[in-house]
Structure 1
């Protein structure tokens, strides 16, 4: 489990940026920074995202407009982290039948990681963050282990391919470094979920290519795959893609 940390982070100008009231759970930004090891690069991201003179994507009347450039990429990652956090929150709140204590602990850890990722992006983007999305999980049978793990596999594999596919679109090297730290955590989740379904499948040819590299997908492909679960009308007009 993520350990308790102080509820503030030092900005690059020496001021303190409070996180009180930001997180919906006990997982705070400082906890995630320690967990992900983002260090100074992540602190700079938080400071940049929270500048008061940066208008938010919703200022034009669309609270789900991702923005453009690197901000759009960060909101893209934020949207995916929202999706995963919402899914695992439901899994832990309503565990599938005959879940073992071990699997419950694993699902709880993954939930906490995804919430930490979500809250970090929310705080880092500040006024430029999209609003909280609403999701449709009606196609998932949360009482079935098979349905839950199959969905978790889909989300985790999709998340890894999303970070891999968006990395070269990021202009700021600090953002790229942070994305690299997060995708490594998502890959750990993906490997775990795959082995819960079938032992030894954590790195099969569904996700690893002939060069031994993880697969990557463009934002267009990823959002198309995630679309059935997202109810909010997102606007990715200016999201970099390929």
Structure 2
């Protein structure tokens, strides 16, 4: 596998957007544009190096792969799910959400699509195919259904990245991926807080997901994919992921 170039950071840009108190949408749009730009900064994709022996693929399933490629595909699968959800919300939920709420949904959609395309570009030929989603349990014409599902997805995403970080290799390109995953999980946490704000007007911030040490929860891939399974029609084989 070949290493990715690291996006340059300066003391301008995001900090300027956060200085003004009433510019949440400006921040969302900036963050989405930054994630999209990161995709363009990839100098190469993962190549087809052998990551070691793999279990034979199960019939009718998508195998995530192994080692760092497997973890990237795991993240890619989750970002596909989130991007598909917010795309459906923007297309179908105009009657259920206020204009301000829909503006937030559009911003979150832009972020998740950028994350999805980032992982697709990083994986190159190793990327899993597009997953088939199943949103039949979601009522896109009901505000509570939309927001509660968004809350589930965002908090699940935070826990997934927190749990997967330690599975990357601890040298070279694995550390680069870990750095990028850390930047994405911080955005997912901001999403979760934004959804909590829409649900309860700033009276809650997902405190039930934070332990006595002030740390957010972390879930391993098996638990995350089990929770996400009702929304993904494609069967996912994660048996080769690092443990």
Q: TM-score, normalised by structure 1?
A: 0.77
How far apart, in 2, do the equivalents of 1:170 and 1:162 lie? Answer: 13
Q: Shift of residue 214 of structure 1? A: 1.2
CA distance in 2, matches of 1:72, 1:225: 19
**Helix, strand or coil at the partner of 1:239:** coil
**Correspondent of 2:135 among 134, 137, 142:** 137
- Between the two proteins, the alignment pairs up a number of residues equal to 208
Q: Label 1:71 to 1:38 Cα distance change in 2 as closer, same or farther (>3 A).
A: farther
Task: Return the alpha-carbon distance in structure 1 between the equivalents of residues 165 and 76 of structure 2.
Answer: 14
- 2:104, 2:154 → 1: CA distance? 14
2:116 aligned with 1:114: no
Query: Which residue, 76, 91, 96 being the options, matches 2:89?
Result: 91
Distance in 2 (alpha carbons) for counterparts of 1:97 and 1:166: 37
Counterpart position of 2:186: 184
**Who is 1:206 aligned against?**
208
Secondary structure, counterpart of 1:64 in structure 2? strand
**Structure 2 match to 1:70:** 68
| Alignment-derived partner of residue 147 in structure 2 | 149
1:218 to 217, 220, 237: 220
1:63–1:130 Cα contact (<8 Å) kept = no
Question: Any unmatched runs of 5+ in structure 1?
Answer: 1-10, 13-30
1:64 shift after superposition: 1.5
Residue in 1 aligned with 2:19? none
Please give the secondary structure, in 2, of the residue aligned with 1:67. coil
TM-superposed CA distance for 1:36, in Å, is 3.9
Secondary structure of the corresponding residue to residue 234 of structure 1: strand
Q: 2 CA distance for matches of 1:103 and 1:121?
A: 27
Aligned-pair distance for 1:97? Answer: 2.8
Shift of 1:100: 1.6
1:25-104 equivalent positions in 2, closer than 5 A:
35-36=34-35, 43=41, 47-49=44-46, 51=47, 53-54=48-49, 64-104=62-102
- Alignment partners' CA distance in 2, 1:141 and 1:109: 21
Flag the 1:67–1:205 CA change in 2: closer, same or farther, 3 A: same
Deviation at 1:170, TM superposition (A): 1.0
Change (3 A) 1:221 1:100: same
In structure 1, what is the equivalent of residue 24 of structure 2? none
CA apart distance, 1:43: 4.4
From 225, 229, 232, the equivalent of 1:230 is 232
